[in-house]
Every structure is written in structure tokens, then in C-alpha cells.
Structure 1
């Protein structure tokens, strides 16, 4: 998520802290009531978005997360973002000049947001109560 700020000319400590806070908030929502098989892809995406520097070969660990998301998710958005992340042009964009390198973290952030939305919009299971705010 740090490269998004750098490519937009806002790369600094405050933007980095805000980006990590956003990633952690999305991961918290995605983790709420999530079984491990659907939590695993969200955790992998967050682990790639939180650090300030990630190499392209680090994205290889996303392959199991993409497969799990395609077969275990009921959300169309999760499946679509997983499909986009499976395409090589998203990773080749990181080799280009600014603003192209921010495509990969943007789609990765979308993947994490789609997992969070799937959890947030899922109805409560039998016997579960949701606290009113």
C-alpha cells in the first residue's frame, strides 16, 4: 500500500501509517466470523500490503490464495479480483514507470476489500447474535 502513496506523490510516514491502518481494518473485518479457508487469502493479501517494500517474487505466495478464493468464495467480487490477480500483466505493470507500479497494490487492496465486504455482508449464522450499535 506504500507504493500507492509514492506513485501519487504522497509517500511519507503518515501515509504509510494510514495505509497500514486501512489494511489492518480490512483484515479485521475479513477475519470476523471467517473460517480458516477463507481467512487465509485475506491474511496473505494483508501481509503483502502492510510492509513498505515487497519484491515481485513475493507475489508467488498469492497463488494458493487465488485458488482458494476462486473455489471457496461465494462472492462474485472476490472471484473477479482473484482472477485479475492471476493475470501476469498486473505484475508486469510493476516494471513500468509511474503510475503503473501502483496497479498491483490497488488490485491487491481490492482483493482484500472484497473479502472484507463478503464477511461484512454475510448474514449471521444460526444461534449468533450481532450487537446493535
Structure 2
């Protein structure tokens, strides 16, 4: 039984569904988006397959696409309620994943960046 897919968990709140992508990031050193999606599922997020190797993970305040890269990282991008950026960073810390997250405003201007190098490559 796969643990990286789940229709349990909350859907993205309606106030965020019309928002353009405002979050971009990378999880360097993590080759497998399935591994990352499984962590989100275990934290109660909804997860669906978005491509052969990609996933979409969702909770009420965030919806992310997780896509592996050719250089051993997982790209993430999507929509997040801006006041939950630190919540997402804390979750990635709990998963012990290194990350770089960028938050953009409605004009596409970078407004905040959070980085961590504490994660273990997988």
C-alpha cells in the first residue's frame, strides 16, 4: 500500500484557490518526491499524483506541487496563505528536510525568503 497518496485531509480554502502561485522553493539533496509526499500525508495533508514522479499536496492553507529535478532535488511551488510560510518551514524542519522557500506578492515581487540546511539527503 502506498503512503504517498491520500484523499484524506483538507482541501485548499476558497480564499486561496484564485490566488496565483506565490510560493517557490527547492528541497536540495532529496531525489524522491514520493518520500516528501509521504511526509506530508503522515502530517494529515491530502496528496495526489500530478505526473509520473510528481505530487500535489494540499491542506487548508497551502497547495504545493512537488516535482523531482534532474540534479537530485525536489522543486516545490504553489499557493500558500502568506502568514503560514513559517508554519510550512517548521513542518519541513520537523521532516528533517533541507529547504529554500521564497514567498512572492501579487505583483511577483519577492517578499520573504527562508532557508534551512539542516535536513538529511534522501
Which structure's CA Rg is the greater one?
1
Name whichever structure is richer in helix by fraction.
1
Do the two structures share a fold, i.e. TM-score over 0.5? Answer: no
Name whichever structure is richer in strand by fraction.
2
